[in-house]
């Protein structure tokens, strides 16, 4: 069965610093979704990547999917306290787009 | 409503009792998903519906778990004869179809935290 492994599991950075979170799949991904979760709230969709080599950006967050579609990275530039939370990557199983396998999450803390 | 609404937000029950968790999706969203999330883990798929039809229930752990969405809107996840291992956050999500296909762009509710004593 497919598994998604995220690294690091947790991260503490100083405000203003850049950081990268990685997501590695045991099998080729049909797509890759990044979500953010804050304590007491639901998951919030960030970005979707579908093609090998694809890169998308939203504000200061950039996500990439490698050519082989087995690894994705999420990069945050000039981190802010508002970026704190748990970042989760999810990959669809087969052709059922909403049936996602999630990684275990990366908890990000940003120190002011 | 504006977002996915789940109730109750918190449920404490005794082992052996039945519980029903409710999900009210975003108006017009065809697809509705149930996930379960243990502490420190990512959500785990349970089941999903397109309209009122249950499309996949392969993630339901055993036959004590069931879900329905009789009118294609509100859904109920029922756990019978609860056990301590059922304690978790139960998350509902809804989405539109994209080109007639399910997409992983899900809108999640805040979840229902179940504690079984």
* Chain segment B54-91, per-residue pLDDT in tens: 999 999 999 999 999 999 999 999 999 999 999 999 99
Residue for token digits 């970026």?
A83
d(CA B21, CA B112): 7
The answer to whether A32 and A72 are in contact (CB under 8 A) is yes
Chain A: residues touching B (Cβ < 8 Å): 4, 31, 33, 35, 40-45, 48, 88, 90, 92-93, 95-105
* Chain segment A70-105, per-residue pLDDT in tens: 999 999 999 999 999 999 999 998 667 789 999 999
Note whether B106 contacts A: Cβ–Cβ < 8 A.
yes
List the single residue in B with minimal CA-CA distance to A38.
B110
Give the count of Cβ contacts less than 8 A between chain A and B: 74
């Amino acid at each position: 069965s497919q598994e998604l492994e995220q690294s690091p599991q947790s991260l503490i950075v100083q405000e203003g610093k850049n950081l990268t979170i990685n997501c590695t799949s045991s099998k080729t991904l049909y797509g890759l979704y990044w979500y953010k979760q804050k304590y007491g709230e639901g998951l919030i969709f960030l970005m979707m990547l579908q093609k090998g080599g694809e890169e998308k950006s939203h504000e200061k967050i950039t996500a990439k999917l490698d050519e082989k579609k087995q690894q994705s990275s999420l990069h945050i530039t000039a981190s802010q306290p508002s970026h704190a939370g748990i970042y989760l990557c999810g990959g669809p199983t087969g052709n059922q787009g909403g049936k996602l396998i999630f990684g275990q999450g990366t908890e990000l803390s940003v120190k002011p | 409503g504006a977002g996915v609404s789940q109730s109750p937000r918190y449920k404490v029950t005794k082992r052996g009792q039945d519980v029903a968790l409710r999900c009210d999706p975003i108006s017009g969203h065809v697809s509705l998903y149930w996930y379960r999330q243990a502490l420190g883990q990512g959500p785990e798929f349970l089941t999903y519906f397109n309209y009122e039809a249950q499309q996949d229930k392969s993630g339901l752990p055993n036959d004590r778990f069931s879900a329905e969405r009789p009118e294609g809107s509100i859904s109920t996840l029922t756990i019978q004869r609860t056990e301590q291992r059922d304690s978790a956050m139960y998350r509902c999500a809804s989405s539109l179809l994209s080109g007639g296909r399910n997409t992983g762009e899900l809108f999640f509710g805040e979840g229902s935290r179940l504690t079984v004593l």
